[in-house]
Chains A and B, each alone.
Chain A
Amino acid sequence: LAKTTQPISMDSYEGQEVNITCSHNNIATNDYITWYQQFPSQGPRFIIQGYKTKVTNEVASLFIPADRKSSTLSLPRVSLSDTAVYYCLVGDSPNSGYALNFGKGTSLLVTP
């Protein structure tokens, strides 16, 4: 299983761009990189997934360098409602022996 390392917490002001970096040095060839967001008293929800280069959707962008040993989740112009815990996960399918380890994630606090 590819172990991930991400900051425990981050602070930001409204309107700023927030970049959360995740390290995954032993990522395997078949592994995808997925980010989830969790609000208090709710289950995590899928934000974005990528394999290499850059992926963008209506919520965020995901930057993955060529060596894939790290990834950066970018949240443009955050608002108070982006205050949440963000999890970086690396893996393939459960059938290949991979089970999801969320860890503690990065707690993002957005203030006015």
Chain B
Amino acid sequence: NAGVTQTPKFQVLKTGQSMTLQCAQDMNHNSMYWYRQDPGMGLRLIYYSASEGTTDKGEVPNGYNVSRLNKREFSLRLESAAPSQTSVYFCASSEALTGQGYGYTFGSGTRLTVV
């Protein structure tokens, strides 16, 4: 099992450019998430999708859009990149653990620099 796969791993954008970060999971999880991590700020939730067909804003959604393409894929789009969006982006998925609460699996991250 690959788990959660994010592409690309690294990206440099110029201010104003657009791009889409891709995320796919092969664990048949219902819920998927996008986070950003900046030095000293911890992980902050951008958007999440509790199930296929639904998306909701998290703590820092401004400047981003998401698409839950199907159960496996959840993409994050930056329409007009800004230097403040320089960060490491993590995708995650979750499902209920047997007899317990939810467990989350994270991808390895996308390091994005906007110049």
Instruction: Chain A residues near B104: list those with CB within 8 A.
Output: 34, 36, 44, 46, 100
Instruction: Tell me the complex Cα distance, A46–B56, Å.
Output: 24
A93: chain B residues at CB < 8 Å are: 31, 96, 101-102
On whether A43 and B90 interact (CB within 8 A), knowing A93-B96, A95-B50, A102-B43, the answer reads yes
Give the B-binding residues of A (Cβ under 8 A).
Answer: 31-32, 34, 36, 41-46, 49, 51, 87, 91-95, 99-105
Name B32's closest neighbour in chain A (CB-CB): A94
Determine the chain B residues whose CB is within 8 A of the CB of A45 once the complex forms.
Answer: 106
Number of B residues, CB within 8 Å of A: 33
Comparing B14-22, B33-41, B62-70, B76-84, the segment that makes contact with chain A is B33-41
Are A99 and B48 in contact, CB atoms less than 8 angstroms apart? yes
Nearest-CB residue, chain B, relative to A105 = B42
CA distance in complex: A31, B16 (Å): 42
Known: A94-B30, A100-B45. 19 other contacts (CB 8 A): A32-B101, A34-B101, A36-B104, A41-B88, A42-B108, A43-B108, A44-B43, A49-B101, A49-B103, A92-B102, A94-B50, A99-B33, A99-B48, A102-B35, A102-B42, A102-B43, A102-B44, A104-B40, A104-B41
Q: How many angstroms between the C-alpha atoms of A31 and B101 in the bound complex? A: 8
**Closest chain A residue to B107 by CB distance?**
A43
User: Which B residues lie at the A interface, using CB under 8 A?
Assistant: 4, 30-31, 33, 35, 40-45, 48, 50-51, 56, 58-59, 88, 90, 92, 94, 96-97, 100-109
Of chain A, the residue at the smallest CB distance from B43 is A102
- Nearest residue (CB) in A for B90 is A43
10 A-B residue pairs with CB within 8 Å? A43-B106, A44-B106, A45-B106, A49-B100, A51-B101, A94-B51, A95-B50, A99-B48, A100-B48, A100-B92
